[in-house]
Amino acid sequence: MGPQPDHGEKTYRGSDRLAGCKAVITGGDSGIGRAVALAFAREGADVLISYLAEEQSDAEQTAELVLDAGRQAVLVPGDIREEAHCRQIVDRAVAEFGRIDVLVNNAAYQMSQDDGLVGISTEQFDRVLKTNLYALFWLCKAAVPHMAPGAAIINTSSIQAFQPSPELLDYAVTKAGIVNFTKGLSQDLISRGIRVNSVAPGPVWTPLIPATMPTDKVDSFGGQTPLGRAAQPAEVAPAYVYLASQESSYVTGEVLGVTGGQLLT
């Protein structure tokens, strides 16, 4: 990518807000996931990173950042579109850490379609829903029994949940579903003392963008925001730190927008 995304490698400074925390992050190999893993580690958390096997080299780079922060990094490759693999992620986290304090459902798939609805194949629709929604459901269901009061679930939604683009119709549908799931699950888990919130980023400069969008749209990506640019992953990660920490102990069922001034309406 050019320019390379900023994950906070040179800028993020931790203050022990997640000291001793055990976290699971899906899609932690790059982009927002890598920035969150780095921030969590520098705040004192051990991190399990879930990612597709073909992204091994990127995942290893993320693990190095976690290790450089003095924390444990666990790498679990595989496809979260498979329920069995989602259970394996949770089982591995429990085996390595003994518990799960924070689950970050961040992995997602999108593919831009200039011809909108008619360009979306059943295969693509299935992949988007399985990656973005089914996996979130499976991971939450598997992880909750291993989460104690005070634990947190953080789901990555999007500005697309509120302002859907026609070329990202299937992706936007899943992100709206994540908002609804977050609000409903937060009520379900109140009795367990587990908080559930979502971060809704606007345009963020990650590898997903040049990989799934036409070149002309990549060149202008983020320009529609009031701030006039896309975010760097490092600018989004602090929202996850806040929702994972006890600073947000009175916050559940909320959607925190990091959108460059676009409104969540």
> What's the Cα-to-Cα distance from 57 to each of 29, 30, 38, 211, 214, rounded to whole Å?
8, 10, 16, 17, 25
Q: How would DSSP label each residue in 143-176?
A: HGGG--TT-EEEEE--GGGTS--GGGHHHHHHHH
| Interatomic CA distance for residues 93 and 3, integer angstroms | 34
214, 114 contact by CB (below 8 A): yes
3-class state of residue 20 by DSSP: coil
SS3 23: strand
Q: Is 62 helix (H, G, I), strand (E, B) or coil?
A: helix
Q: Which residue is catalytic, options 51, 171, 240, 242?
A: 171
The secondary structure of 200-214 as a DSSP string is EE-SB--THHHHHS-
List phi, psi (to 5°) of 238: -60, -25
CA–CA distance, 163 with 241 (Å, rounded to integer) = 25
171 catalytically annotated: yes
**Contacts for 20 with CB less than 8 Å, ≥ 6 apart:** 44, 45
* Residues classed as catalytic: 171
